[in-house]
Amino acid sequence: MADVTVMGAGVFGLSVAFACARRGARVAVIERTGIAAGCSGGVVGMLAPHAPEKWNALKAFQLDSLLAARDLWTTAAELSGIDPGHARVGRLQPIRDARGLELARARAAAARELWPDHVTWEVIEAPAGAWTPASPTGLLIRDTLSARVNPRAACQALAGAIRASGGTITAGDTPPDGARPVVWATGVAGLRDLSAATDRAAGNGVKGQAALLGLNAAGQPQIAADGVLIVPHADGTVAVGSTSERDYTAPDTTDQQLDALLLRAGQVLPVLAAAPVIERWAGLRPRAKSRAPMLGPWPGRPGHYIANGGFKIGFGMAPVAGEVMADLLLDGIDRIPESFHPEASL
C-alpha cells in the first residue's frame, strides 16, 4: 500500500504527488483517462499574477507559488528529462486611458511594497516592434513576474519525476481498499462528486476555448489585451486563449466564439493575423464556488482529501498547492489558507 494515493493526473494531482515523493513518501497516482486528459491538457499556460492591490490570502499564496515555480519545473525537468517549457518571460498590457494609467501607477506602487525586489510591475512607453500591442495612450504595463509553461509537457515532466522518485501512475477510477490518505484531484467530476456527497454546491465546470498558432516568438513577453491572452511558447507556437463559458452545448468542441477570439488576437497583435492555426482546443475548467482553490480534508470523510478548483490559475498555484498538501498529508501541518479549505468553500 502506498503512503499517499492521489486520484487524478492533472496538474494539481501530479503536483501533490510529486511534493510527497520528493519527501520520500511512496506515492501512487491513479488516473481514469490519461495524464493531463482534462483541462490540464490545454494549450495556453500563462502563469500571471493577480493585480497587486486589495491584498488577501489568495494573492499572497499565488505570489509565493509563482516565485516557487522555477524550482518545481527545473527539478521536474532534471528528473524526467522532459522540458516543461517554463520561463519567466513577463507580460505586457495596454493602458487605454487616464483612469487606467492612474490605476496602473497605484498598482506599481503596491507591487514595490508587496513583491520582492527582483520582480516588478511598472508603466513603460510602448516600444516599437511587431510584438507590441496597440495602446491608445502609448503606454503599457509590464510585469516581470509572469511566466509561461507548456501545460502538456509540464504534466508529463511531473509524471516522469514522480516515476523517477519511485512513484507509480496507473489507470483506474477507484483507490485500493483501505488506502489512506487519498487525495481527490479529479477536476470537474470531483466537484460534482463533492456536491452530491455533501448536498451542497461545490462548484462547476466553466468551458474554455483556445488555439495554437504556428509562429515562432519564443522569448517574447506574454500579452493580455482586449480579453485575449497571447502566450509565446518555446516550441515555435503561440497560444491564444481563452473564452469563459458557463453555458455551452458541448464541453469539448470549438465554435464561433473561438473564431471571434482569434480575430481579436489579430487586432491586438497584427503579426498573429496571418499565422496558421495548428490546433483548436476546448475543455472544462473546475471552478470552486469560492473561486479559490479547494485544498484540504474532504468534509465528513476521514482519510480523504481534496485538491481541486484550479480554474484558470491551476498551473500558477500548483507549486505551493503541492507543498502545503504534502505538509498536511505527511506531517499533519496545516499551512493552507482557511478560505481554501473545502468546508469553507461549500
Please write the tens of the pLDDT for every residue from 46-81.
999 999 999 999 999 999 999 999 999 999 999 999
Q: Is 178 exposed, middle or buried (0-12, 13-18, 19+ CB in 10 A)?
A: exposed
> pLDDT tens, 172-183?
999 999 999 999
In a domain, 125, yes or no: no
For residue 237, give Cα distances in angstroms to 44, 212, 255: 10, 6, 21
pLDDT surpassing 90 at residue 240: yes
Distance of alpha carbon 346 from alpha carbon 339, whole angstroms? 10
Domain that holds residue 310: 4-86+150-202+289-345
pLDDT band, very low/low/confident/very high, at 345 (cuts 50, 70, 90): confident
Instruction: Provide mean pLDDT across the span 21-39.
Output: 97
In a domain, 241, yes or no: no
pLDDT at 270: 96
In a domain, 12, yes or no: yes
Instruction: Provide mean pLDDT across the span 149-154.
Output: 98
Report DSSP letters for 162-212, one per residue. HHHTT-EEEE-SSPPTT--SEEE--HHHHHHHHHHHHTS--EEEEEEEEEE
User: How many structural domains does the chain have?
Assistant: 1
Q: How far is CA 91 from the centre of its chain?
A: 16
pLDDT at 199: 95
Residue whose cell numbers read 509572469: 146
pLDDT surpassing 90 at residue 346: no
Nearest to residue 58, comparing CAs of 336, 327, 344?
336
> pLDDT tens, 283-340?
999 999 998 999 999 999 999 999 999 999 999 999 999 999 999 999 999 999 999 9
In a domain, 296, yes or no: yes
In a domain, 249, yes or no: no
- Rounded percentage of the chain residues whose pLDDT exceeds 70: 100
pLDDT surpassing 90 at residue 137: yes
pLDDT band, very low/low/confident/very high, at 167 (cuts 50, 70, 90): very high
pLDDT surpassing 90 at residue 1: no
pTM over 0.95: yes
Average pLDDT score over the chain = 97
CATH code assigned at 22: 3.50.50.60
pLDDT at 31: 98
- Rounded percentage of the chain residues whose pLDDT exceeds 90: 98
pLDDT surpassing 90 at residue 190: yes
Distance of alpha carbon 32 from alpha carbon 119, whole angstroms? 39
pLDDT at 165: 98
In a domain, 172, yes or no: yes
Nearest to residue 206, comparing CAs of 148, 291, 280, 279?
291
In a domain, 191, yes or no: yes
pLDDT surpassing 90 at residue 3: yes
Distance of alpha carbon 167 from alpha carbon 26, whole angstroms? 6
Instruction: Provide mean pLDDT across the span 263-277.
Output: 97
In a domain, 222, yes or no: no
